[in-house]
Amino acid sequence: MNYSIPENFILGAAASAWQTEGWSGKQAGQDSYLDAWYEAEPFVWHQGYGPAVATDFMNQYKTDVRLMAEIGLTHYRTSINWSRFFTDYENLVVDEAYAQHISDVINELLEAGVEPMFCLEHYELPKALMDRYDGWSSKHVIDLFVEYARIVFERYGDRVKHWFTFNEPIVVQTRVYLDAIRWPHEQNSKKWMLWNYHKVLATARVVEVYKAGGYAGRIGCILNPEMVYPRSSSKEDQAAAHYYDLLYNRVFFDPLVLGQYPEELLALCRENDIWFEPTSEELALIRENTVDFLGVNQYYPKRVKAQRFAWAEGQPFHPTKYYEEFDLPGKQMNNSRGWEIYPSIMYDMAMYLTENYPDLDWFVAENGMGQMDEQRFTDETGVIQDTYRIEFIREHLRYLLKAVEAGARCEGYMLWAFTDCVSPMNAFKNRYGLVSIDLENQRARSKKASANWYATLIRERQLQVADLSDEPK
């Protein structure tokens, strides 16, 4: 069967600054959180690769944009690297060479007919602001971020119409302060919630600045909600899913979209000593400056079940007080990444959004599949035959288009990633791109089979899928 893809439906691809740019032109003192982590713990980065060269996008962006145009991407999303944008974060001294690079990338994209989308932070918090103010623990860092956003809008707001404050604003503090599995390994659950809150507040303040500037575009944020599935119909398993959703999804959705936190979440924060002490002025600001739209990253389902053991009071708070992971027997896996493959998340997430946030405009900002040792799929003509990626995209897009037919306000689909790029820790282990990066040969680019398939999809706007009602085999 065939799905017709609506005319204005976005079909694009994404990346981020730190995962592609490389350090070409970087000055002393311009380290980001990622650079600092890589320097502190190089041994956790796969085969020692990190952000230092990445895909060398700084020097090779013209080649990438040409390939985007060949494939026909409607949109490309990346970030501005906050840590590279200034030479002095306090006095807002812009690194003009870096700022010019961003301007050149924007012009190149526009000339190629690819609509640019930019995030102000894709984990690229300046290390200097971590050292001096403990990063997002500080309200002063929010002030500096707002001033950064103001300058960015002044410089590029006439050309870029799609802005996002953060990519996946929950991730860094979850890995660092809640789970303490990433450098600098400080377990601090209260700080986890404070960073969540300060990123919500920072978003509202940046939205306010953007609106006041009267720019002809939209501003939002990119979240990574996980579609939560309880193990069973038991009320205990259902409650586990409810708490997971509250603590990891609604903690950003509700304030950003509805302008307020769920009362239940506020009570839970007080009760668990992760209270973030919002002022009434701040809450009013959040209420009045909700986002225009959201990007939603979708990779895998989250399966949970009820806690089997009593919570040991006195240990630092963790959401696992309310749930346990559930390992579904027989689930389909992407073994390279260790993530379950379950394309129905696209439909289910779309219905979740339709039900809970009916006025929200959104699009899938990331979805994709990382594959290990991808070179082994190279054919005799030198092209990587990534049929697994084509199938992955096809199946996820099928469920998304089904949701659009059912009335979801979804504006499009962006693949992660345009080229192979550096992952946190996994570096180049799992390849995500439509375009491969040759690490042995100056980061040379070449299109994979999926690039040609995606190009045809974009040109023809028809998705061919097997009939779901196939006879049982």
The site string for ligand BG6 over 426-455 (x = CB under 6 A, - otherwise) reads x---x-------------------------
For ligand BG6, which stretch binds (CB under 6 A), given 34-42, 56-64, 349-357, 418-426? Answer: 418-426
* Residue of 333, 326, 332, 334 whose CA lies nearest to 303: 326
- Give the SS3 label for residue 10: strand
- Is residue 370 within the footprint of ligand BG6 (CB under 6 A)? yes
Q: How far is the CB of 249 from ligand BG6 (least distance, A)?
A: 14
The H or E element that residue 449 is part of is helix 449-460
Nearer to ligand BG6, 16 or 419 (CB): 16
Nearer to ligand BG6, 289 or 297 (CB): 297
Q: Name the residue whose CB lies closest to ligand BG6.
A: 423
Kindly tell me which residue out of 224, 298, 419, 450 binds ligand BG6, with binding defined by CB under 6 A. Answer: 224
- Is residue 22 within the footprint of ligand BG6 (CB under 6 A)? no
Pairing mode of beta strands 293-297, 302-305: unpaired
Q: How far is the CB of 99 from ligand BG6 (least distance, A)?
A: 23
Q: How far apart are CA 320 and CA 311, in angstroms?
A: 9
* Residue of 1, 8, 4, 3 whose CA lies nearest to 409: 8
Nearer to ligand BG6, 339 or 377 (CB): 339
Contact yes or no for 342/301 (Cβ under 8 A):
yes
Residue 248 DSSP code: I
Contact yes or no for 153/217 (Cβ under 8 A):
no
**Cα angle, residue 263 at apex, residues 179 and 362 outer, rounded to 5°:** 70
**Cα angle, residue 456 at apex, residues 396 and 386 outer, rounded to 5°:** 60
Q: What is the largest CA-CA distance in the chain?
A: 67
Q: How far is the CB of 124 from ligand BG6 (least distance, A)?
A: 11
- Is residue 297 within the footprint of ligand BG6 (CB under 6 A)? yes
Q: How far is the CB of 6 from ligand BG6 (least distance, A)?
A: 25
- Is residue 81 within the footprint of ligand BG6 (CB under 6 A)? no
- Is residue 16 within the footprint of ligand BG6 (CB under 6 A)? yes
Nearer to ligand BG6, 187 or 426 (CB): 426
* Residue of 365, 367, 388 whose CA lies nearest to 448: 388
Nearer to ligand BG6, 156 or 432 (CB): 432
Considering only residues 298-357, where is the footprint of ligand BG6 by CB under 6 A? 337
Q: Look up 340 and say whether it is catalytic.
A: no
Q: How far apart are CA 316 and CA 314, in angstroms?
A: 6
Nearer to ligand BG6, 73 or 172 (CB): 172
Q: How far apart are CA 123 and CA 169, in angstroms?
A: 8
Nearer to ligand BG6, 64 or 366 (CB): 366
* Residue of 92, 205, 79 whose CA lies nearest to 144: 92
Residue 406 DSSP code: T
The site string for ligand BG6 over 147-186 (x = CB under 6 A, - otherwise) reads --------------------xx------------------
Q: What is the dihedral angle through the alpha carbons of 194, 195, 201, 206, rounded to the nearest 10 degrees?
A: 160
* Residue of 57, 32, 34 whose CA lies nearest to 44: 34
For ligand BG6, which stretch binds (CB under 6 A), given 81-89, 267-275, 282-290, 423-431? Answer: 423-431
Q: How far is the CB of 223 from ligand BG6 (least distance, A)?
A: 10
Contact yes or no for 423/373 (Cβ under 8 A):
no
- Is residue 51 within the footprint of ligand BG6 (CB under 6 A)? no
Q: How far apart are CA 358 and CA 342, in angstroms?
A: 24
Nearer to ligand BG6, 157 or 370 (CB): 370
For ligand BG6, which stretch binds (CB under 6 A), given 239-247, 278-286, 318-326, 420-428? Answer: 420-428
Q: Look up 168 and say whether it is catalytic.
A: yes
Q: How far is the CB of 16 from ligand BG6 (least distance, A)?
A: 6
* Residue of 452, 451, 450, 454 whose CA lies nearest to 463: 454
Contact yes or no for 266/340 (Cβ under 8 A):
no
- Residue 186's identity, in one-letter code, is E
Q: How far is the CB of 18 from ligand BG6 (least distance, A)?
A: 9
Contact yes or no for 348/227 (Cβ under 8 A):
yes
Q: How far apart are CA 67 and CA 63, in angstroms?
A: 6
Q: How far is the CB of 134 from ligand BG6 (least distance, A)?
A: 23
- Is residue 374 within the footprint of ligand BG6 (CB under 6 A)? no
Residue of 21, 121, 226, 366 marked catalytic: 366
Q: How many residues bind ligand BG6 (CB under 6 A)?
A: 14
Q: How far is the CB of 46 from ligand BG6 (least distance, A)?
A: 10
Q: Residue written as tokens 């509250």?
A: 246
Residue of 21, 168, 282, 374 marked catalytic: 168
Q: Residue written as tokens 């494939």?
A: 71
Residues that bind ligand BG6 (CB under 6 A): 16, 19, 167-168, 224, 297, 337, 366, 370, 416, 423-424, 426, 430
Q: Give catalytic residues, as residue numbers.
A: 168, 366
